[in-house]
Amino acid sequence: MKSRPIAVTMSKHTIEEILAPKPAARPRIYAYSIDDEAHQGLLKIGQTTRDVKRRIAEQLKTAAIKNYKIHLDEPAECKDGTIFSDHQVRAALVKKRFANTELEWMQCSVADVQTVLTELRSGKQFTGTHHETFPMRREQVEAVNKTHAYFHSIWKEDMHAVPRFLWNAKMRFGKTFTTYQLAKKLGAKRVLVVTFKPAVEDAWQTDLECHVDFDGWQYLSRNSDGDPTKIDRKKPVVYFGSFQDLLGRDAAGNIKPKNEWVHKVKWDLVVFDEYHFGAWRETAKELFEGEDDEVAKKETKLEYAAGLEEVNEDLTVLSEKEAEFLPITTKAYLYLSGTPFKALATGEFIEEQIFNWTYTDEQRAKEEFAAKNPGNWNPYGAMPQMRLLTYQMPDELLAIASAGEFDEFDLNEFFAASGRGKAARFKHKTDVQKWLDIIRGSYAPQVVEHLKTGTRPPFPYSDVRLLPYLQHSFWFLPNVAACHAMANLLAEKHNTFWRDYKVVVAAGASAGIGLDALPPVRSAIGGGFETRTITLSCGKLTTGVTVPQWSSILMLRNLKSPETYFQAAFRVQSPWSIKNPNGDNPNEEEILKPVCFVFDFAPTRALRQLSEYGIGLSPTEPNPENAVKDLVSFLPVLAYDGANMTQVDAGGILDIAMAGTSATLLARKWESALLVNVDNDTLRRILNNPEAMAAVERIEGWRSLVDRTH
C-alpha cells in the first residue's frame, strides 16, 4: 500500500499571495571577444536573463580584463516562442566544424554565430542522439518499483498470469521516460506501445533516442523506415502503433497482412497510452461540441484515433481480457491515463494496481522539496500553481441567461451567436459588451457600488496583479459563431482597450484541424515578452498542445464533466521557464510563470466541477470534504459574490456545489455595506417587527450589523 508523503503544514493563502506579481525576465545570447594574442580569432558565447553589459563586466572584473568587445546581444527565442540556449548555439557551430577550443570559446566569426541563430529561430533542430543523462525523479522511481513489485508478486503465484497496472498520472509526469525505465527494470526486450492519440508519437521516439539509458534500443512505428521483421533480435525494440492501425482488418475480417507480425511476436510489455476508460467518446463530444459537425468529427477522430467507432465494444468498458479486442501475446499490461475517473470509480483496478500522480501530488512535492532543500534547484519548481477565481454576474445579466437547479448563469445562452466571419453577431450583444466592461473594471453601475463598499475586487483585465497573467490568455467559448462574434466585438471602434491584444480565432474549418490550428497562435505570441494575445476557441487546442505563454483561461461555456473542464484548464498549467539563464549554472532556472489562473463566471457550476474533480481523484477517501480540502490546499479559490471577494475553503466549496451558496458568503452578504446603504428602510421595518426580529437575530452577521446601525 502506498505511503503518503509527509504533509507540509499549509497556511491559508492571503489574497496578496494568490495574486502574486509576475516575474519579468527575457533570455539573451551574447558573444564577445578579448583583444589579446591568447584569444585571437575566438568568441565567447554565453547567455543571460540580465543586462548583457553588466553580466559580461561581472565575468571579466575578477581578471581585470578591460580590452573586450561585445559583438552580439540578441533574444534567445525561436519564431514559435521556444527558447534556445548558448549550449545549442555552440553545438550547432561544432556541427559546422568550428572548433570549441575551451569551455564557451568558439573559433568562428560573428557572422557564423548570426547564421546559427537564424537557423535555430527557423526551427532547424541540432539535437544529438543519446546525450541526455538526467535520472528519474522520486515519484518516477516509486512508479517503476511499485509496478515491478506488483508484476512479480502475480508471477510468483502464477508464472503464466498476465498482470495489469494503471498509472494515473497528470501531464508532465514523464510517462514515456518512466515507462522505458520500467521496461528496462523488467528486462523487457519487446515493448508494444498502443495509443488512442497518434499525435503523441514524437515524445515516445525522442525519449528513447535521446537518453543514454536506452542506447542500443530500437524504435519502430508505421512512420519509421525500419522493417519490423528484420530487427536485431538481441537488442530491445519498441514498436509504437495506434489502436485503429493495429486493430485494422480486411473485408473478410482477417488481420491485415502488414500487421500479422505484431500478433506473432511474444511481447514482454504492452502499454496502452492515453486510455480513457470508456469516457473517450463523451469527452471528445463535449470538448468539440461547439465546432461545426464536420469539423467536430475530424477533430474527434484526430484526437482519439480515427476508426474507433468500429472498434470492438469491449473498449467502451474495459474488458477483463484485453486479448478479446487486441489478440496478441504479452507478459504484462501497463495503462497510462491522466483522467481515469471511470476506471477508479468502478474498481476496475484495485489500490495495489494503481500508481497516482495528480496535480495535488505534484504541488505537494514542489512545496516539500522547497522546504527541505532551500536554495537548491527544484525539479517541480516550474510547474505553476493554479488559482480559480469565480465571479457572480450582476442581476441584469443573470436575467438574460439563467438556467438549472440554482438559476445558474447559462454561459451558452449568454454567449449565443449566429453567423460566420465578419457577419457573426451575439444574440445578446449589448449584454456581452457589458460583460467585457465588467472584466476590465469599467462597468458604470459596478463602479458606483464599489465606491459605496470601499472595495474594488480583482477583475481579470483591471487588476494590476492579474494583468501580466492575461498577457496571453485562452477564451473557451460555446461554438464557432461565438468565437467569430467575440473577435468582431473586440475589434469594434469603441473597444479601444482591446486593441493592444492580437486576437486569434482558433475555431471552424478555416482555423485548421488538430495541430494545424497552432501555428497562427505561435506566430501571434512570438517570444511572448512584448506581444499580447487572446486565443478564442470552442474546442481546438484544448488537448495535446503546449503553449508555455498561456497563463490564464476564461471559461465562457457550460461544461458538464470535471474531466473535460480540467483537461481544458490544464492547458494553461504548462511550465514557462528558462533553464541555466545566465549560462553558468545548469541547476539554475528562471521561472516566468509561477502561477496560472482559471476565471469562471458561473460560480456554482465551476465549484461543482472542482469538488467532483477533487472527489474523483480520491475514490478511497470516505469524507468528500477531506478530498476537496486536499485539492484546494494547492488550488486556492476566490469567489466574488457581487460585493466581496472571499477565499472559499473545502466546506464552502461543497456547500456552494450543493446549495448554490455557502454560510461564509451568506454572512458576508449580510455584512455588505451595500445592504446598509441601499436598504435602510427595510432594516427599520424589520427592527419594528418582533417576529421578524426573532428570526433574524439568530444570524450572527445580522447582530453585528444591528450593532453598527444603532
Give the Cβ contact number of residue 370 at 10 Å: 15
State pLDDT tens for residues 189-238.
999 998 876 656 667 888 888 787 888 898 988 777 666 667 777 889 99
What is the structure's pLDDT at 310? 44
How buried is 334 (Cβ within 10 angstroms: 0-12 exposed, 13-18 middle, 19+ buried)?
A: buried
Give the three cell numbers for residue 252.
473478410
Q: Which one-letter amino acid corresponds to residue 84?
A: F
pLDDT at 305 over 60: no
| 135-144, 329-338, 683-692: segment of lowest average pLDDT | 683-692
State pLDDT tens for residues 276-300.
644 445 555 666 667 777 767 776 6
What residues form DSSP beta bridges with 45? 31
pLDDT at 405 over 80: no
Pairing of strands 402-403, 408-409: antiparallel
pLDDT at 377 over 80: yes
pLDDT at 253 over 80: no
How buried is 520 (Cβ within 10 angstroms: 0-12 exposed, 13-18 middle, 19+ buried)?
A: middle
State pLDDT tens for residues 423-438.
999 999 999 999 999 9
Q: Where are the alpha helices (DSSP H) in 618-672?
A: 624-632, 650-659, 663-671
528: left (phi over 0), alpha (psi -120 to 50) or beta: left
Contact 601, 409 (CB under 8 A): yes
| 129-133, 331-335, 549-553: segment of lowest average pLDDT | 129-133
pLDDT at 503 over 80: yes
> Which residue ranges make up each domain of the chain?
28-75+81-121, 139-214+241-357, 362-669, 679-709
What is the structure's pLDDT at 315? 40
User: Which CATH superfamily does the domain covering 362-669 fall into?
Assistant: P-loop containing nucleotide triphosphate hydrolases (3.40.50.300)
Query: Cα-flanking dihedrals φ and ψ of residue 577, to 5°?
Result: -150, 165
Measured CA to CA in angstroms, residue 83 lies from 76, 128, 303, 634 at distances of 6, 18, 27, 29
> In which band, very low, low, confident or very high, does the pLDDT at 642 lie, cut at 50, 70 and 90?
confident
Q: Are domains 139-214+241-357 and 362-669 of this chain identical in fold?
A: yes
pLDDT at 667 over 50: no
- pLDDT, mean of residues 72-85: 85
pLDDT at 444 over 90: no
pLDDT at 90 over 90: yes
- pLDDT, mean of residues 70-76: 89
What is the structure's pLDDT at 54? 87
> In which band, very low, low, confident or very high, does the pLDDT at 625 lie, cut at 50, 70 and 90?
confident
Query: Cα-flanking dihedrals φ and ψ of residue 690, to 5°?
Result: -60, -40
Q: Which helix (H) or strand (E) holds 168?
A: strand 164-169
What is the structure's pLDDT at 268? 95
d(CA 410, CA 412): 6
d(CA 501, CA 490): 9
pTM confidence score? 0.77
Contact 335, 167 (CB under 8 A): yes
DSSP string, 534-603: EEEESSTTSSS---TT--EEEE-S----HHHHHHHHGGGGS--EEESTTSS-TT-EEES-SEEEEEES-H
Return all residues near 371 (Cβ < 8 A) that are at least 6 apart.
8
- pLDDT, mean of residues 366-373: 95
Pick the more confident residue, 80 or 312: 80
Long-range contacts of 17-23 (CB under 8 A, 24+ apart): 18/387, 18/595, 18/636, 18/638, 18/647, 19/458, 19/463, 19/465, 19/466, 20/465, 20/594, 20/595, 21/465, 21/468, 22/468, 22/469, 22/551, 22/592, 22/593, 22/594, 23/590, 23/591, 23/592, 23/594
Cα 521 off chain centre by: 16
d(CA 610, CA 608): 5
Question: For the chain, what is the largest distance between any 2 Cα atoms, rounded to a whole number of angstroms?
Answer: 99
What is the structure's pLDDT at 396? 85
Contact 612, 627 (CB under 8 A): no
pLDDT at 309 over 60: no
- pLDDT, mean of residues 655-675: 52
Give the three-state DSSP class for 83. strand
What is the structure's pLDDT at 277? 47
Cα 20 off chain centre by: 19
Give the three cell numbers for residue 193.
506501445
Pick the more confident residue, 560 or 28: 28
State pLDDT tens for residues 161-198.
999 999 988 888 999 999 999 999 999 999 999 887 66
pLDDT at 137 over 70: yes
Give the three cell numbers for residue 178.
518512466
What is the structure's pLDDT at 299? 65
| 15-19, 289-293, 523-527: segment of lowest average pLDDT | 289-293
- pLDDT, mean of residues 684-703: 68
- pLDDT, mean of residues 508-535: 89
What is the structure's pLDDT at 340? 61
What's the chain's Rg over C-alpha atoms?
A: 28
pLDDT at 488 over 90: yes
> In which band, very low, low, confident or very high, does the pLDDT at 339 lie, cut at 50, 70 and 90?
low
pLDDT at 620 over 90: no
> In which band, very low, low, confident or very high, does the pLDDT at 306 lie, cut at 50, 70 and 90?
very low
Arch. (CATH architecture) of 139-214+241-357 = 3-Layer(aba) Sandwich (3.40)
Average pLDDT, the chain: 81
Contact 553, 571 (CB under 8 A): yes
What is the structure's pLDDT at 384? 96
What is the structure's pLDDT at 589? 86
